[in-house]
Amino acid sequence: MSNLPEIKVFAGENSQYIAESIASSLGLELGKKTFTRFSDGEFVTSFDETVRGEHVFIVQSTFPPSDNLMELLLMIDAAKRASAYKVIAVIPYFGFARQDRKDKPRVAIGAKLVANMLQAAGVDRIITMDLHADQIQGFFDVPVDHLYGSTVLIPYIKSLGLRDFAIASPDIGGAKRANSWAKYFDSGLIICHKTRIRANEVADMKVIGDVEGKNIIVVDDMIDTAGTICKAADMLMDNGAASVRAVATHAVLSGKAYENIEKSKLTEVIFTDSIPQKQPCSKIKVLPIAPMFADTIRNIYEHKSISDHFLM
């Protein structure tokens, strides 16, 4: 089914690149909208075509700045007020997901607050990918389709034809994710144990597992400053690894991340395009996720299962 007449796909300002690919994969034109910013920084967004009775899919990753989240909320509200039949937020990168619990006194649970705001705006469904914490799905009282970046990342790893390789987690918190990859590949599992001085700064790191002579794939959901992943790679190479690659769904890449990756002993870092790249980097490989999201949208519209499309 190349054309889905009751579906309309719209994009937030900073997610045009992926929304256009999703719409193209569905055989649709991207919906028309107007974004106007006032001199004080406030902005308004409006649809330039009817959405009455339509399934409206709004594509917007909510990476910083918070304007991206606010724009998504305004677009959901606008679609509901324009009598859309269903409003589905397509959020490849779900911002504030690292704030999934109270890990110290007197802090907000940001992920729950975002869930509340999306529902208050009137969203009917969420499609997202590789949440930092799986339990965030339970913060919503509407359906959440939680996709996995491994669907596009694993085929690329297979294409490398690596021999004698192992899967590694950059920290204890990611051990479950890395273990799933290790089971899939029937490979060894390595865990890097780190201690932090403060947020985004690693004090010390130790390695647990057989490293010698291995081609190692370090698996994570996101890479921010790249401090942890680069320190892990350097340590693994110093302990006798043949090569170290990093795989992560979301390229947050803030601060000196690009510089850290270039200077590290990493052979390659593989991301999806859930977040656009800020600058080029010779060690970074970016894989498109639009076909996976388009396929999910088509199956949701046609009331088909989406579970068969995900490797883990």
Segment among 103-112, 169-178, 197-206 with least mean pLDDT? 197-206
Rounded mean pLDDT, 81-97 = 97
* Domain termination site, one of 98, 120, 147: 147
The pLDDT tens digits for 214-232 are 999 999 999 999 988 998 9
H-state helical runs in the chain: 16-25, 67-81, 110-121, 150-159, 175-185, 227-238, 257-263, 290-301
Q: Are 97 and 205 part of one and the same domain?
A: no
Task: Give domain status of residue 169, yes or no.
Answer: yes
Q: Are 142 and 124 part of one and the same domain?
A: yes
The percent helix, strand, coil of the chain (3-state, each to 5) is 35, 30, 40
Q: Are 143 and 203 part of one and the same domain?
A: no
Q: Is pLDDT of 203 > 60?
A: no
* Domain termination site, one of 87, 119, 147: 147
CA distance 149 to 285: 14
Q: What is the mean pLDDT of the chain?
A: 92
Q: Are 132 and 203 part of one and the same domain?
A: no
Q: Is pLDDT of 139 > 90?
A: yes
Residue 278 sits at the vertex; the CA angle it makes with 87 and 38, to the nearest 5 degrees, is: 55
Task: Give domain status of residue 308, yes or no.
Answer: no
The pLDDT tens digits for 13-35 are 999 999 999 999 999 999 999 99
Identify the band that residue 306 occupies on the pLDDT scale cut at 50, 70 and 90: confident
Task: Give domain status of residue 306, yes or no.
Answer: no
Q: Are 53 and 81 part of one and the same domain?
A: yes
Residue with tokens 């075509």: 49
Q: Where is 244: in which H helix or E strand?
A: strand 243-251
Which two three-digit tokens encode residue 85?
């039949």
Q: Is pLDDT of 200 > 90?
A: no
Rounded mean pLDDT, 260-266 = 96
Q: Is 259 helix (H, G, I), strand (E, B) or coil?
A: helix
Q: Are 73 and 183 part of one and the same domain?
A: no
Q: Are 216 and 170 part of one and the same domain?
A: yes
The pLDDT tens digits for 48-62 are 999 999 999 999 999
Task: Give domain status of residue 305, yes or no.
Answer: no
CA distance 257 to 272: 16
CA distance 122 to 249: 28
The pLDDT tens digits for 149-163 are 999 999 999 999 999
Model pLDDT, residue 196: 57
Identify the band that residue 141 occupies on the pLDDT scale cut at 50, 70 and 90: very high
Q: Are 125 and 16 part of one and the same domain?
A: yes
Task: Give domain status of residue 293, yes or no.
Answer: no
The pLDDT tens digits for 180-193 are 999 999 999 999 87
Q: Are 140 and 11 part of one and the same domain?
A: yes
Query: 150 Cβ partners below 8 Å, 6+ apart?
Result: 181, 184, 310, 311, 312
Q: Are 32 and 132 part of one and the same domain?
A: yes
Task: Give domain status of residue 210, yes or no.
Answer: yes
Q: Is pLDDT of 1 > 50?
A: no
> Annotated catalytic sites, by residue?
194
- Residue 284, sorted as left (phi over 0), alpha (psi -120 to 50) or beta, turns out to be beta
The CATH code of the domain that includes 120 is 3.40.50.2020
Model pLDDT, residue 172: 84
Identify the band that residue 207 occupies on the pLDDT scale cut at 50, 70 and 90: confident
The pLDDT tens digits for 165-182 are 999 998 888 899 999 999
Q: Are 36 and 80 part of one and the same domain?
A: yes
In terms of residue numbers, what domain contains 138? Answer: 7-147
Q: Is pLDDT of 36 > 80?
A: yes
Domains held by the chain: number? 2
